[in-house]
Amino acid sequence: MCYCVKSFASEQRKAPHFAETVKGCMQRIADWLKALGLSEYAERFAENGIDASVLRHLTDQDLKDIGVLLGHRRKRLVALRSCLVRSRPSPSLRPQ
């Protein structure tokens, strides 16, 4: 899932068929939700156009609006934070 979130823009620029790229990314989101035990929300994410370009910007209220239960919202937010933290460069690798 981290790959999907951080590489969406580069895939979008390279892909000759944007719809195929979005479909592939939506599948990765569905796979990520399944890994979290939240596969029942994959269709809701797709129906609401939630792809990697907006995934990291979803708020608790956004998830509530599409019908994600409170406990599941927390689970998803924690997983996304963890993914984003792992994708950041370590402090020792940042330019001085």
92 half-sphere exposure, CB direction, 13 A CA radius: 0
The per-residue pLDDT for range 1-54, each reduced to its tens digit, is 444 444 444 544 554 554 555 567 888 999 989 999 999 999 999 999 998 888
- Who has greater pLDDT, 66 or 26? 66
d(C-alpha 11, C-alpha 83), whole Å? 19
The per-residue pLDDT for range 72-86, each reduced to its tens digit, is 999 988 888 787 666
Within 10 Å of residue 19's Cβ, how many Cβ atoms?
Answer: 8
Stretch 50-73: mean pLDDT: 92
Q: How far is CA 20 from the centre of its chain?
A: 17
Q: Is 78 exposed, middle or buried (0-12, 13-18, 19+ CB in 10 A)?
A: exposed
Residue 96 lies in a domain: no
Residue 46 lies in a domain: yes
Residue-range definition of the domain harbouring residue 46: 2-87
Model pTM?
Answer: 0.64
**Which domain CATH number covers 64?**
1.10.150.50
Residue 41 lies in a domain: yes
Residue 60 lies in a domain: yes
How many domains would you assign to the chain? 1
